[in-house]
Chains A and B, each alone.
Chain A
Amino acid sequence: MAAEHELVAQPLVVTRRKRNAMAILRRKVLPRLIIYILLVLGSVAFILPFLWMLSSSLKTPGEIFIFPPKWIPSSPQWHNYPDALTIQPFGRYTINTIIVTGLSMLGTLISSSLVAYGFARIRGAGSGFLFSLVLATMMLPYQVTMIPTFIVFRMLGWVNTLKPLIVPSFFGSAFFIFLLRQFMMTVPLEMDEAAIIDGCSTFGVYWRIMLPMAKPALATVAIFAFMDGWTDLMGPLIYLNSQRLYTIALGLATFRQQFSTETPWHQLMAASIATMMPTLLVFLLAQRIFIQGIVVTGLKG
């Protein structure tokens, strides 16, 4: 009753309030709702292929070829994973991949940080020209130098060893030099000066000041180098012939070749998930570093 009375007594105020509520709904809630709907629809599109992969990997060979497909396998076939990973010596492949990826990460971190420090902090003769040369090599497609490099490694007798996949990383990579140099430029020069006054050598400044300061950028480089090494196909394809040297990427790429008939999709999906697990885990654990690294390269040049 009272409310009704108020309505009659102050119609103006209520309509205004009502209009305000409508305006808030229109200006605040509605856009937010649309944003959420778009975000959710987008994520479904991005995540569904992964779920489909997981679902397929747990099916029986019969269930895989049912149309329309079932999303939840009637009884998850977890043994698909060990089965798929023993069709080929994936254990061996994993060891090879860890050797290649680990050593190239190490090589990249050492060499690229040294070179980046030189470019960031020491104004030697011709440093400007040399740095533009570094940038220019970023534009040079791998394919141009791939063939002569292959011939050089062949002469050295390194074909069908892991060396061609590891050794080049010890000579710095243009992209990582660029990334680290950009980051090192943001470290205040006073840090170096203080260290030098305290009797630090140039190498000491690099080792004791710059490397600790550049940890986030180094972590980014480490992660990028890891991803590159783990998923590289072209390198192993060119240099490795015997199966005992294969990396995971190469092993997976040749997985289908041993089946003359229908591809065992359930096993192929299981093997694919298993091999990309490390990259997924590294990304999920180091997300912030990853994205930060992109912001650093984020071209504040």
Chain B
Amino acid sequence: MPSAANKTPALQKRKSALRRRRNLYFYLFISPWIVGFIIFRGGPLLAAIWLSFVKWEIVTPPVFVGLANWKAMPHDPLFWQSLKVTFLYTFSVVPLGIVFGFLLALLMNQNVRGVTVFRTIYYLPSVTSGVAIAMLWLWIFNPDFGLLNYFLSLIGIHGPAWLFDVRWVLPAFIIMSLWGVGGTMIIYLAGLQGIPTQLYEAAEIDGANGWAKLLHVTIPMMTPIVFFNLVMSVISTFQVFSSAFVMTQGGPMNASLFYVLYLFRNAFQYFEMGYAACLAWVLFAIIGVCTLIIFATSDRWVYYEGAARGII
């Protein structure tokens, strides 16, 4: 068999040439991301570590201060205030959004005429996010002439001053965020429509009524989507900025001083770049820990149909 012995090295040679070519193409295609990762992600990440140990006010050269920035943090009342505001907001908005979004998606999944029109209406607020919507809610929450207090007056309630009241400013932001629940709803809806109908048919044969089907088919099948929405909404609610910047500037009396707003102020208004970098790291750590907790508990409550586990 001399020919076979001759072929094998040749084949191997061709194979490794192929592999080399494949690697070349692979890295060529992903090169934009690699360059971007180095310039805009990895590089800045390393720089952010260094930054947290310096005092740098942009106009003067940076001065190494060791752990001073980190040590100052526990003694900074505004740091604690912004943390409190952000946690209160996140722990209200995330569960409310998960539940409301799910209920709305169930409603949207009903087979009734005109449901697509309703779907558009419910989804509309979440696509028009941004400054314009913040302005709209600023006007809705106006204590004297706003829409919300007008409705409250119809049922005999004298509404609070909302954005001007230390106790009501966070509830106001929570109400506003619920108006944008359509984004969560649409993801649930996609999940609901992906549940195989055989599962419902099988449940019906076993004598399950509507309630039992919801409890034993829909909800277990939806847990991966709940999981995704949970992770995504925790990450995004910790990063609230625009609405607070536009509507309250953190007021009254720092009652709506969201964490990222405080971080922004330190970096671009007080020019405390080093301290702001520390704040950013703490934010990263908080988000990381929250995500880890969700991931770690997911084995207990997330049900994956079949062996194929989702990436997320």
A interface residues, Cβ below 8 angstroms from B: 32, 35-36, 38-39, 42-43, 45-50, 52-53, 56, 64-69, 110-111, 114-115, 117-119, 122-125, 127, 130, 133-135, 137, 139-152, 154, 168, 170-172, 177, 202, 206, 227, 230-231, 233-234, 237-238, 249, 252-253, 255, 265, 268-269, 271-273, 275-276, 279-280, 283-284, 287, 290-291, 294-295, 298-301
- Give the tally of cross-chain contacts (CB within 8 A): 260
A189 to chain B, nearest CB (A): 15
A106 to chain B, nearest CB (A): 13
Cα distance A108–B280 in the bound complex, in angstroms: 26
Is the C-beta of B158 less than 8 angstroms from some C-beta in chain A? Answer: no
Chain B residues, Cβ within 8 Å of A111: 32-33, 36
Is the C-beta of B293 less than 8 angstroms from some C-beta in chain A? Answer: no
User: Given contacts A48-B147, A144-B45, A148-B48, are A272 and B135 in contact (CB under 8 A)?
Assistant: yes
Partner of A283 from B107, B118, B124, B224 at Cβ < 8 Å: B124
Is the C-beta of B242 less than 8 angstroms from some C-beta in chain A? Answer: yes
B128 pairs with A137, CB closer than 8 A: no
B147 to chain A, nearest CB (A): 5
Cα distance A141–B287 in the bound complex, in angstroms: 8
User: Given contacts A125-B23, A144-B45, A269-B139, are A233 and B242 in contact (CB under 8 A)?
Assistant: yes
B107 pairs with A39, CB closer than 8 A: yes
Interface pairs (5), CB distance under 8 Å: A39-B115, A125-B26, A279-B128, A291-B190, A298-B187
Is the C-beta of B150 less than 8 angstroms from some C-beta in chain A? Answer: yes
B29 pairs with A145, CB closer than 8 A: no
Cα distance A35–B264 in the bound complex, in angstroms: 45
A145 pairs with B40, CB closer than 8 A: yes
Cα distance A177–B311 in the bound complex, in angstroms: 14
Cα distance A275–B187 in the bound complex, in angstroms: 27
A252 to chain B, nearest CB (A): 5
B310 pairs with A172, CB closer than 8 A: no
Chain A residues, Cβ within 8 Å of B225: 298-299
A258 to chain B, nearest CB (A): 14
